[in-house]
Amino acid sequence: MMLYLYVLQNQWIVLSLLGGTILTLLLCLTYQALWVPRGTEKESEQIKVKDFRSFFVWIKSFVPWTITLLILASLTFTIFEIFRNYAIPPNW
């Protein structure tokens, strides 16, 4: 039995393999980022929040980069989806 892997014919296989690889990589990177040394909490308490720049420096001092990336990706997807749905009205 042979497995013919044509992209157009079996694209769900390619997408599931690619999605699984991306999720595995993201899981490993998130696991590594969540176990940062405890010294970062002390550093985050020393930063005084005065304006937006110092606020982002304070957030960046204790939030892992993977969670920040996930929030930015969700925000971008939401904005893109709103504009896409606005451009194509429902066909009732």
Residue 2 placed within a domain: no
Of 6-15, 53-62, 71-80, give the range with the top mean pLDDT.
71-80
| The amino acid at 75 | L
Does residue 59 share a domain with residue 83? yes
Does residue 58 share a domain with residue 78? yes
- Nearest residue to 25 via CA among 61, 80, 69, 72: 69
Does residue 88 share a domain with residue 43? yes
Does residue 23 share a domain with residue 54? no
Tell me the pLDDT of the chain averaged across its residues: 78
Does residue 53 share a domain with residue 78? yes
pLDDT of residue 40: 60
Instruction: Look at the chain and report how many structural domains it folds into.
Output: 2
26/70 Cα distance (integer angstroms): 10
SS3 11: helix
Each residue's pLDDT tens digit, 30-45: 887 777 666 666 666 6
Structure tokens at 79: 């904005």
Mean pLDDT of 10-17: 81
Domain that holds residue 14: 7-36
Asked if residues 39 and 53 have their Cβ atoms less than 8 Å apart, the reply is: no
Indicate whether 1 pLDDT > 60.
no
